[in-house]
Amino acid sequence: NRPSKCTYKLNGDGLAPQASPHIHRDSYYRTGSIKPNILYCMNDSPLIRINRITKNDGVPCEILAKCEFFNPGGSVKDRIAVRMVEDAEERGLIQPGWVLIEPTSGNTGIGIAITCIVKGYRCVIVISEKMSKEKVDIMKALGAEIVQTPTSVSYDAPSSNYRMASKLANTIPKSHILNQFRNASNPIAHYDGTAEEILNACDGKLNMLVCSAGTGGTLSGIARKIKERLPDCLIVGVDPIGSILATPDEVNETSTAFYEIEGIGDDFLPTTLDRKIVDKWYKVGDKESFIMSRRLAREEGFLCGGSSGAAMYCAIKAAKEFNLTANMRVVVLLPDSIRNYMSKFLSDEWMIARAFLDTQTKSHDYTWFI
């Protein structure tokens, strides 16, 4: 059974009393048990050693990948979906039968759609047209109703997905927006869950955490717990070129705000992001991110998404820049699955059309490790 530094108190269906915002569901940490439903599988992702990429790139330290693509919805956002819904239920804000509306880049929508099925809610997802068809089709398969908004509008434009979600909430009775960009249950899910899993698996030995940011919930929640337990551990944030989340602000200056990587970066600062907890931010482009995502498949057998490539690319860069030696350890978080991008960076044609790959280099030609 999983060792833990938390105290678990069973109360009826497994919920700890609401004395603090930190809830630990007992069965989340039981291994080899029968799961009451799919929501109990939204945790405990494996931490897997990177072998070939580190060797091929001449990085002496150990790099471990927290592989969130093992979650039932295929991403790290399953964790916050179930946590935000259960916290809202416990606060009496919603009850089964209500309509949950969420603006999302897709993965949170998938997690919420699964949660709605299990708990009996109607699910309305507001998503920008930039996001992959795969994510939209998955949410439809899960019975979610989809409202699409234009890609190139700022967050405060009337047609942005944030504004559209508020409009819908004002017109649909018994509806609620969980709002992952402002909801404290988002970082708390990672403070209580993801971070504990990493620290338990690492047994107190960790020199650097590398994590990308969209809402910043994953990064901020994990980093806060790590800084409490291991104050010397370096926290590295990953932000795409074109986004404004990184600090200092000057690093965000660029001529274009568009980037292809999905799920990370933004044009406003979510309250769920604690920028100060990050020791060093790295800006990252589309091309190097997608090439690294493809390398994760080809060299490690990991089928993960574009933001995973972005984080892995920055992990290698940071490990080199900070001169991490053989006895040191990095954890890099890989947020979602390649399933979301079958028609995008997995396709040679899509990569070539954007000059991310030259016409000579087809994916089956890669020979990095041979």
Residues found near ligand PMP in the complex (CB under 6 A): 75, 77, 105, 107, 212-219, 262-264, 305, 307, 335-336
Among the listed residues 52, 50, 49, 68, the one whose alpha carbon sits nearest the alpha carbon of residue 338: 68
Please state, in angstroms and as integers, the Cα–Cα distance from residue 263 to each residue in 20, 190, 214, 311, following that order.
Answer: 30, 17, 6, 12
Shorter beta-carbon distance to ligand PMP: residue 98 or 282: 282
Rg (CA), the chain: 20
E-assigned strand segments in 215-349: 234-240, 280-284, 329-334
CA angle 358, 340, 36 (to 5 degrees): 155
Cis before 270 (ω within 30): no
Beta strands 234-240; 280-284: pairing state: parallel
- Is residue 124 classed as helix, strand or coil in its secondary structure? strand
Partners of residue 210 on adjacent β-strands: 236, 332
Min. distance of Cβ 76 from ligand PMP in angstroms? Answer: 6
Taking the complex as a whole, the smallest distance from the CB of residue 201 to ligand PMP amounts, in Å, to 20
Q: Tell me how far, at minimum, the Cβ of 158 lies from ligand PMP, in Å.
A: 23
Q: Mind giving me the DSSP string for 262-294?
A: -SS--SS--TT--GGG-SEEEEE-HHHHHHHHH
- Residue 77 bears catalytic tag: yes
Angle between helices 107-119 and 133-141 (to 10 degrees): 0
CB of 261 to ligand PMP, least distance (A): 8
Single out the residue of 128, 99, 124, 97 nearest to residue 109, CA to CA.
Answer: 124
Please give the angle made by the CA atoms of 289, 291 and 294, to the nearest 5 degrees. Answer: 110
Residue number, 16 or 303, with CB nearest to ligand PMP: 303
CB-nearest residue to ligand PMP? 263
Shortest distance, CB of residue 108 to ligand PMP, whole angstroms?
6
Beta carbon of residue 131, minimum distance to ligand PMP (angstroms, whole number): 9
Look at the alpha carbons of 256, 258, 264, 267 in this order and tell me if their dihedral is positive or negative. positive
298 three-class SS? helix
C-beta of 61 vs 220, nearer to ligand PMP: 220
For ligand PMP, the closer of residues 25 and 77 by Cβ is 77
Q: Specify the amino acid at residue 5.
A: K
Between 234 and 310, name the residue whose CB sits nearer to ligand PMP: 310
Which of the residues 66, 77, 119, 135 is marked catalytic? 77
Between residues 306 and 357, which has the closer beta carbon with respect to ligand PMP? 306
Tokens of 124: 């309305």
Catalytic center residues:
77
